[in-house]
Amino acid sequence: MADTEKIDVVRVIGEVLTEMDVLLASPDISDSDFKAGRKLRRDLDKLQLRIVAEQFRENTKKFQEAAQALEGVNKEISKTIADVEKIAETIGAIAKLISAGEKLLSIAIA
């Protein structure tokens, strides 16, 4: 498997943002879930912008582990995000994705 690059991480987050937009546009979503999802969507968008702005040593073990953890959470999200009935699971997984992204940012080059 090829090493993960920063652009791969940015794409993963971008895909989740798009999927969140579709989910939040559903007429079946409750007001409270919409508000929680919208807040997480904004937080994830800010995280993506911060990752874009930072520099990383992509070939290091730390970066690869952090990026793979983020991709693992993305797989979890993909199992639930298309189903409005599973919004609580999706919101929890997106919170984990943000946490994984924060860990990735912690290893950015100062």
33 within a domain of the structure (yes/no):
yes
Please check whether residue 110 lies inside any domain of the structure.
no
The pLDDT of residue 69 is 95
Count of domains for the chain: 1
In a domain, 15, yes or no: yes
Give pLDDT < 70 ranges for the chain: 1
Domain membership of residue 59 (yes or no) is yes
Write out the residue range of the structural domain in which residue 45 sits. Answer: 6-105
Residues 45, 17 contacting (CB under 8 angstroms): yes
Residue 1: inside a domain, yes or no?
no
Q: Is position 38 within any domain?
A: yes
* CA-closest candidate to residue 75, choices 2, 32, 24, 12: 12
